[in-house]
């Protein structure tokens, strides 16, 4: 197990940046100093996150997202119970 998170990570299984093993460990995101719980995708080097835009869906049934730019700090959440 590694202690570093990738530069880019997505919760969408169709994305090339999806990593189920990391997501099951629990990944948290601090964006501009505030913890975000609705992040769909992030990129540290480019400084952006994608968050769901309400309950609206696109024509394929995926949530509509908006891109927010700022400081992105991913971390492992230790308060998530282990899957058994």
For the stretch 10-55, pLDDT in tens is 999 999 999 999 999 899 999 999 999 999 999 999 999 999 998 9
Q: Residue 63 forms beta bridges with which residues?
A: 57
pLDDT band for position 4 (cuts 50, 70, 90):
confident
Spatial distance between the Cα atoms of 19 and 11, rounded to a whole number of angstroms = 8
pLDDT of 80 above 60: no
Which segments of the chain are extended strands (E)? Answer: 8-10, 27-31, 34-36, 39-43, 48-57, 63-69, 72-76
Higher pLDDT, 28 or 3: 28
- Of 3-7, 28-32, 45-49, 63-67, which gets the smallest average pLDDT? 3-7
């Amino acid at each position: 197990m590694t202690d570093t998170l990738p530069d880019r990570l997505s919760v969408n299984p169709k994305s090339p940046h999806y990593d189920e093993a990391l997501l099951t460990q629990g990944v948290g995101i601090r964006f501009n100093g505030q913890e975000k719980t609705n992040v769909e995708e992030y990129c540290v080097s480019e400084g952006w996150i994608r968050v769901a835009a309400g309950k609206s869906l696109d024509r394929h049934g995926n949530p509509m997202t908006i891109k927010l730019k700022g400081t992105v700090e991913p971390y492992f959440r230790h308060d998530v119970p282990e899957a058994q």
